[in-house]
Chain A
């Protein structure tokens, strides 16, 4: 199972920092997602892509998490050499993350 099966996502940029939202389609899966998708796991997923640190903020009322990643945009949107200087595609990269197949059953 991929994260894409349970959640949708959007990337935003400010300077050299990217934020990626992860929003559960079904709020009932939020606790399981929150338990698995730690800031450390996201940091590992993006190893080699970002140079900074990942911080997670929780928004339980809308069943969502916000991952804020520093050093994510090649020195900043305005001077990056990257083809996607804004990092718009990072949300899709995160949705490609593998989830344990028993994530939801294990949480019940």
Chain B
């Protein structure tokens, strides 16, 4: 039975670049997939596109394409990515320019668009997961993008694309698209589509299935994390999957790494909602069949819901933050005094803060006093952190300023003050009937 080899070249927008080059050169791949689009990123990209119609795609697109295109062209490896973000056409044109500069004439680049449903939905009464409707967001709403499925990716590949660039496609669909194209899977063969979603789900976070986000010295040791290899899925026409990586790269593919990634970001394992299918991972089995080779079977699926999730971005608020460190005997007491002073200063100077968080990094910053068992704890050093939510940037800046003034006005020995203030783009979600979303494929040739 025919097998397709798909590599994952990035697990998030800022991911390392050279593991993808290693995959392109040594992975004997058919496809190299880059998943680079987080929930909030598309909202920020939409804002960038509004300012500049040629912007709004992934800032690392050029660097990644320059790094892998020569080896991919030489090896016949096709690329699929969501680096198009808010502007797949501009991303495809930029990729065409890079291909021309590299002398890769005739390279075909497809842009898949249609996920942007902002104009059609911004004043709608579609309910949001956070409560209220889209219309309630008023002029704070800045983007609405539907998670589209694999069909248009498969269509682009059938049209001869060497590179397929999407906007807000569902992450696993980037992998399912090539499988549908290569194996001719029917778009209503739910068990096969469920298996394809599992392929994508296990690979989409790249290093997270090859030993990244996993090491716990003494319990789960992983060698070579500084040269972590990214994963390869060997997928058969019946959806059977082996996860592996390039021989000699760092990290490991074991039953443990695969099980952790299998359960990553899923809720009910019998119902993993995707645009193309409701995948069912509840009967999955995981078996080590060799060194860095794990066989995964048992995924299935049920008919899709006919609704697509929409990621809705809106200007929410501002967050101001400040930090400062204390050391030696009494560090915790001086840190707690510093927090009291900042609270007092914000009240005294009338800074309107709707939510305030006061942490001692090294003591209770991650999970609060109860879980951290802070009673009697005397670390050598602590770092004070104050973060607050405001309605304006000017008020947000006041929070960091009140931490910084602890230098000369606060407890003894405060050092290393740092401050920031930023606008918060929040993301909520809604559901839209699939028929309201029309994707289209546009081809560019270098």
Q: A residues touching B (Cβ–Cβ < 8 Å)?
A: 4, 8-10, 12-17, 19, 21, 23, 25, 45-49, 55, 57, 59, 61-62, 64, 66, 68, 76-79, 81-84, 89-90, 93, 96
Residues on B facing A (Cβ under 8 Å): 39-40, 129-130, 213-214, 216, 219-220, 256, 259-270, 281-286, 298, 316-317, 319, 355-357, 359, 361, 365-368, 370-371, 385, 387-389, 424-429
The majority secondary structure among interface residues of chain A is: mixed
Q: Cβ of A8 and Cβ of B366 under 8 Å apart?
A: no
Nearest-neighbor residue (CB-CB) of B383 within chain A = A83
- Cα A81 to Cα B214 in complex, Å, equals 26
Q: Which residues on A sit within 8 Å (CB–CB) of B261? A: 10
Q: How far is the CA of A93 from the CA of B367 in the complex (A)?
A: 8
Query: Which of chain A's residues have a CB closer than 8 A to the CB of B319?
Result: 81
Alpha-carbon distance A82/B357, docked complex (angstroms): 8
Q: Which residues of chain A come closer than 8 Å to B264, judged between CB atoms?
A: 10, 12, 21
Q: Are B265 and A62 in contact (CB under 8 A)?
A: no
CA distance A54 to B411 in the complex (A): 41
Pairs A–B under 8 Å by Cβ, sample size 26: A12-B264, A14-B267, A19-B265, A19-B266, A25-B256, A45-B371, A49-B370, A55-B267, A57-B268, A59-B284, A61-B285, A62-B259, A64-B259, A66-B267, A68-B268, A78-B39, A78-B427, A81-B319, A81-B355, A81-B356, A81-B357, A81-B389, A83-B361, A83-B366, A93-B367, A93-B371
Which residues on B sit within 8 Å (CB–CB) of A68? 267-268
Total A-B Cβ pairs within 8 A:
119
Residue of A nearest to B365 (CB): A83
A19: B residues at CB distance < 8 A: 263, 265-267
Complex contact A62–B286 (CB within 8 A):
yes
* Complex: chain A residue closest to B265, CB-CB: A12
Given the complex, which residues of B lie within 8 Å of A16, measured CB to CB?
130
A45: chain B residues at CB < 8 Å are 371
In the bound complex, residues from chain B placing their C-beta under 8 Å from that of A4 are 219
Inter-chain contact A79/B426, CB cutoff 8 Å:
yes
The answer to whether A76 and B130 touch across the interface, beta carbons within 8 angstroms, is: yes
Q: Are B367 and A47 in contact (CB under 8 A)?
A: no
5 additional A-B pairs beyond A23-B256, A83-B365, beta carbons within 8 Å, are A8-B256, A17-B267, A21-B260, A78-B424, A79-B389
User: How far is the CB of B35 from the nearest CB of chain A, in Å?
Assistant: 15
Bound Cα distance from A34 to B419, whole angstroms: 45
A49 to B219, CA, bound (A): 26
Give chain A residues whose Cβ lies under 8 Å from the Cβ of B256.
8, 23, 25
Q: Is the CB of B385 within 8 A of A83?
A: yes
From known contacts A62-B259, A68-B267, infer whether A77 and B39 are also in contact, taking CB-CB under 8 Å: yes
Chain B minimum-CB-distance residue to A48:
B370
Cα(A47)–Cα(B369), bound, Å? 11
Contact B368 A49 (CB under 8 A): yes
Closest Cβ of chain A to B386, distance in Å, is: 10
Candidates A13, A55, A62, A84; contact of B285 at CB < 8 Å = A62
Q: Contact between A61 and B268 (Cβ–Cβ < 8 Å)?
A: no
Closest CB in chain B relative to A28 CB, distance in Å? 15
Q: Say how far A63's CB is from chain B's closest CB, in angstroms.
A: 8
Known: A66-B266, A68-B267, A76-B426. A10 touches B260 (CB 8 A): yes
A89 and B219 within 8 A (CB): no
Q: Which residue of A lies closest to B389 (CB)?
A: A81
A residues in contact with B367, CB < 8 Å:
49, 89-90, 93
